Amino acid sequence: MHVFAVDDSEVLLEYTSCVLESEGHAVCRATSGEEALSVAASERFDLILSDFNMVGMDGFQLAAALRSGSANAETPIILITGEDSESLKTTSRRYGVNGWISKPFRPCQVIEIVQRFVS
């Protein structure tokens, strides 16, 4: 599976990537929403994992931009965030977000969500 990981924290981006790569997935990385849009303009992914709270462009803005006619308009998007309110989860669905992982997360949570979208 070709996974796109987006996070403005280099530490969390590395952690997420290592978890995915240990399961045999190819991982492309971006450190901002703007960089993610640039990469996604020319590359197709099977799944996008994105931090919610990023400098410049948050996860909702990134999801909305990806859903607006990009090559990844139908790609499942999972937000990773420390926030866990029901209102944010409801709002995320309106932006086309398919799922949510709460921080701190365990490697098995990332693996489980990836497997859910592989099937």
- pLDDT at position 22 is 96
CATH number of the domain located at residue range(s) 2-118 in this protein: 3.40.50.2300
Per-residue pLDDT of 16-72, as tens digits, reads 999 999 999 999 999 999 999 999 999 999 999 999 999 999 999 999 999 997 799
Q: How confident is the model at residue 90 (pLDDT cuts 50, 70, 90)?
A: confident
pTM of whole model > 0.75?
yes
Rounded to 5 degrees, φ, ψ at 48 are -120, 125
pLDDT over 70 (residue 119): no
Q: Is 111 exposed, middle or buried (0-12, 13-18, 19+ CB in 10 A)?
A: middle
Within its chain, how far is the Cα of 7 from the centroid? 8
Q: Judge whether 79 and 92 are in contact, CB under 8 Å.
A: yes
Q: Closest Cα to residue 43, out of 5, 80, 13, 79?
A: 5
Closest CA to 111 of 23, 5, 14: 23
Top pLDDT among 68 and 83 is at: 68
Please determine, for residue 118, whether its predicted confidence score (pLDDT) is greater than 80: no
